[in-house]
């Protein structure tokens, strides 16, 4: 009788343990920590030639965060801070109109991507170079940053930005937005931690 | 009670084994060196990577600059290169067309173009780098398949690219560090 009670007790312990194990697995490994932002908001920029080191950051609205299991965000948060060292996969898309007719027969290179800010140094960690020409100088184009894997250290700040690459004339009212379309995705980006292994990465 | 403790230890061993393997089955490589292209139209020119360029690797073998898939499965592949022809051009009629290719088993049985991207440089933009991007595509790959990246200057180009041996055409665009890269992700067995 005593032995039977002990077996039953063991079974109860085992049930709790199995539940605990599955729960821990679900929380720790079922999903990689991820941040997903998607908006239809518009934003205009003034981009000047010869200012390739100036990043024009894209404003973000907390209500347009689709998912966040990565960053610590509250009402006071102004920056997205990488929570721990690891390998991260970053992607994004920008719906952008240079809003000019000056690129025809002129330089039209602009950069779109996600900047990593580490100890005050700003650097694209995932980015796409778009060279506009006479065919898309006054039209909306979708510039995609395809998934890029990068090693990021804890406390690096990440933020989406546009910068002048090599342009011939100032772009006074270039726009990230939907234009005449009432509903579209003007800007979207994702960052996901794919591994918390230690590593390093030269340049980016 | 001892049995319970023994089972817990077994469970924990399994748990940590599983945790250790919880890595994204991905590969990402990017060149940190600029790359020279020859002014030769119609020829595939390789964009070679080195082991030191690997950012993250759980699924391929790198040897002698070859990127070789380790197991059969469905993969998602993509690539990019930022290219600057490095010339000025003399009239609005001038143009340079280039195409970037991601090729499986180049010059081997089963050679296949997995993806490509074309860009036309026009007057005014000949000395401005443009990104040639091969969008992510799902492909079936087998253990031992090699993947490599090539650029071709198309014969429709009306002028040549910078002919200086010291000029590197695949390079950092102004204001960016990205040069060329490739991503492979195993989607399923």
3-state secondary structure B26-74: EEEEEECCCECCCCCECCEEEECCCHHHEEEECCEEEECCEEEECCCEE
- Mutate which of A109, A122, A148 to test chain B, going by most B C-beta atoms within 10 A? A109
Query: Distance (Å) from the C-alpha of residue B55 to the closest C-alpha of chain A?
Result: 7
Q: Which residues in B lie closer than 8 A to residue A168 (C-beta atoms)?
A: 124
Overall number of domains in chain B: 1
Phi, psi dihedral angles at A23 (to 5 degrees): -60, -45
Alpha helices (H) along B39-170:
none
Q: What is the pLDDT of residue B162?
A: 98
Alpha carbons A122 and A48: distance in angstroms, whole number: 18
Which position has the token pair 């679900």? A26
Whether B124 sits inside 8 A of A107 (CB atoms) is: yes
* Domain range enclosing B175: 24-188
Q: For the packed helices A2-29 and B2-20, what is the interaxial angle rounded to 10 degrees?
A: 10
pLDDT confidence bin for A10, thresholds 50/70/90 = low
> Is the pLDDT assigned to residue B171 strictly greater than 70?
yes
Q: Where are the domains of chain A?
A: 1-30, 32-195
Q: How many CB pairs under 8 A join A and B?
A: 141
Position B135 in a domain: yes
Smallest Cβ–Cβ distance between B133 and the set A13, A146, A202 belongs to A146
Smallest Cβ–Cβ distance between B173 and the set A105, A111, A151 belongs to A111
Q: What is the pLDDT of residues A81-134, one digit of tens each?
A: 999 999 999 999 999 999 999 999 999 999 999 999 999 999 999 999 999 999
Q: What is the pLDDT of residues B80-94, one digit of tens each?
A: 999 999 999 999 999
The token pair at B98 is 């280039």
Residue (of A141, A136, A145, A86) closest to A115 by Cα position: A145
The token pair at A149 is 């894997």
Smallest Cβ–Cβ distance between B183 and the set A6, A21, A147 belongs to A147
Whether A147 sits inside 8 A of B136 (CB atoms) is: yes
Query: Distance (Å) from the C-alpha of residue B167 to the closest C-alpha of chain A?
Result: 18
pTM of the predicted protein model: 0.88
Q: What is the pLDDT of residues A65-86, one digit of tens each?
A: 999 999 999 999 999 999 999 9
Whether B178 sits inside 8 A of A127 (CB atoms) is: yes
Smallest Cβ–Cβ distance between B135 and the set A17, A146, A203 belongs to A146
Alpha carbons B139 and A87: distance in angstroms, whole number: 24
Q: What is the pLDDT of residue A204?
A: 45
Whether A204 sits inside 8 A of B178 (CB atoms) is: yes
Q: What is the pLDDT of residue A26?
A: 47
How high is the ipTM of this complex?
0.89
> Is the pLDDT assigned to residue A2 strictly greater than 60?
no
Q: What is the pLDDT of residue A200?
A: 74
* Angular region, A49: left φ>0, alpha ψ -120 to 50, beta rest: beta
Whether B122 sits inside 8 A of A146 (CB atoms) is: no
Residue (of B46, B70, B38, B17) closest to B180 by Cα position: B46
Nearest CA in chain B to A168: B124
CATH number where B48 lies: 2.60.120.40
- What does each C-alpha distance from A188 to A66, A95, B43, B74 come to in angstroms? 10, 9, 38, 27
Which class is A32-195 in CATH? mainly beta
Mean pLDDT of chain A: 89
């Amino acid at each position: 009788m005593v032995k039977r009670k002990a077996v039953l007790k063991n079974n109860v312990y085992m049930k709790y343990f199995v539940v605990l194990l599955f729960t821990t697995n679900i929380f720790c490994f079922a999903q990689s920590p991820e941040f997903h932002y998607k908006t239809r908001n518009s934003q205009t920029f003034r981009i000047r030639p010869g200012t390739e080191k100036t990043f024009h950051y894209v404003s973000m609205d907390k209500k347009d965060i689709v998912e966040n299991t990565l960053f610590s965000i509250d009402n006071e948060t102004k920056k997205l801070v990488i929570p721990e060292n690891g390998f991260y996969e970053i992607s994004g898309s920008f719906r952008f109109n240079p809003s000019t007719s000056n690129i025809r027969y002129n330089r039209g290179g602009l950069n779109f991507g996600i900047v990593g800010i580490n100890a005050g140094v700003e650097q694209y960690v995932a980015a796409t170079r778009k060279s506009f020409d006479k065919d898309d100088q006054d039209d909306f184009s979708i510039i995609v940053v395809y998934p890029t894997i990068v090693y990021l250290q804890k406390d690096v700040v990440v933020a989406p930005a546009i910068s002048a690459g090599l342009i011939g004339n100032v772009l006074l009212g270039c726009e990230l937005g939907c234009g005449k379309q009432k509903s579209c995705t003007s800007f979207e980006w994702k960052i996901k931690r794919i591994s918390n292994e230690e590593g390093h990465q030269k340049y980016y | 009670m001892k049995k319970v403790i023994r089972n817990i230890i077994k469970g924990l061993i399994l748990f940590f084994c599983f945790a250790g393997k919880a890595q994204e089955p991905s590969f990402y490589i990017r060149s940190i060196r600029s790359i020279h292209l020859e002014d030769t139209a119609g020829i595939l020119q390789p964009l070679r990577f080195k082991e030191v360029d690997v950012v993250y690797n759980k699924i391929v073998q790198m040897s002698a600059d070859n990127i070789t898939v380790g197991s059969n499965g469905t993969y998602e592949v993509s690539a990019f290169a930022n290219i600057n022809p490095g010339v000025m051009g003399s009239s609005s009629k001038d143009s340079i067309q280039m195409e970037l290719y991601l090729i499986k088993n180049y010059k081997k049985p089963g050679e296949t173009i997995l993806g490509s991207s074309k860009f036309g440089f026009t007057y005014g933009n000949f000395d401005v780098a443009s990104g040639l991007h091969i969008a992510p595509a799902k492909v079936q790959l087998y253990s031992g398949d090699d993947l490599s990246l090539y650029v071709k200057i198309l014969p429709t180009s009306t002028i040549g690219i910078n002919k200086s041996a010291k000029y590197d055409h695949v390079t950092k665009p102004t204001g960016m560090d990205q040069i060329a890269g490739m991503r492979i992700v195993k989607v399923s067995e």
